A and B are shown apart, each in its own frame.
Chain A
C-alpha cells in the first residue's frame, strides 16, 4: 500500500445523479478525514471518521452528503442529487492516531457536475 488511495480520480455526473467517492487509507491507519477544495481555494474540512464511527461531521453540508467508514473496505463519501456547486476536488487523508496532525493525503477525486 503505497499511500492513501482514492478513486475514481475523475468523476462526471449530471445534476440530480449520485456521486460516490472512495478512499482506502494507508495500511494500518484507522482514521480518515475528508476535505473539499473549490477552485483557487484552500481545503475545507468536511468529516472525520474512525472505523464504524463518525468523530466530527461539523463540516458536512446538512443535506445530500453522507460519509461512512465500515469495518471492512474503504471509506465512502456519498453525494446525492448532485448540483453544479458540488463540483470540486475531494481529498481524503488518513492518520494512525486519534487527532493526529500529521495527515497523509490522497491524490483526490475531481467531481464535475454538468
Chain B
C-alpha cells in the first residue's frame, strides 16, 4: 500500500531557530497536507497543497508540494515554544469516494527555550 516516510522521528531545536521537515512517498499524491497534533488532541490542519510545485505560507509556516508529486516539505521559521508537537504529513490520491488520507508516522518537535 501507499506509505509516507517522515524522518527523523524526533527533532530538537533552540527557540528562534528555523526547522525543516521532509515527507516522501513511493507513489504519487494529488494533494499534500500538513497537520500538527498536540498531546491528547486530534490533528489540526496547518497547510494544504493542491498543485505540484505549489509553495504556500501560513504565518511562520511554509510548505511546498514537490514537482514529482512524491514529496513535500514543511518549514517553520523563528520557532517558539508553542511549536512543540507532532507534525504529520498526509497525502490524498483523489477526491470523491476514494478520498481517504494516508498519514506519515509524524515528527515530534521539541523546542528548547
Contact = CB atoms under 8 A, between A and B. Distances in A.
Interface string B59-82: 000000000000000000000000
Interface of A: prevailing SS: loop
Nearest to B31: A101
A105 B44 contact: yes
Interface in A1-47: 4, 33, 35, 40-45
A99 interface: yes
B48 A45 contact: no
A33 B95 contact: no
Nearest to B33: A101
Contact of B99 (A4, A101, A106, A107): A101
Q: How large is the interface on B (under 10, 10 to 19, 20 to 34, 35 or more residues)?
A: 20 to 34
A43 B99 contact: no
Nearest to B9: A40
A101 B97 contact: no
A114 interface: no
Given A42-B4, A45-B101, A101-B31, A91 B96 contact: no
B95 A99 contact: yes
Contacts of B99: 48, 56, 98-101
Given A99-B95, A106-B42, A41 B105 contact: yes
A107 B39 CA distance: 10
Nearest to B30: A101
Contacts of A42: 4, 88, 90, 103-106
A48 B100 contact: yes
A40 B105 contact: yes
Contacts of B25: none
B4 A103 contact: no
B56 interface: no
Interface of B: 4, 9, 31, 33, 40-45, 48, 88, 90, 92, 94-106
Interface of A: 4, 33, 35, 40-45, 48, 55-56, 58-59, 91, 93, 98-108
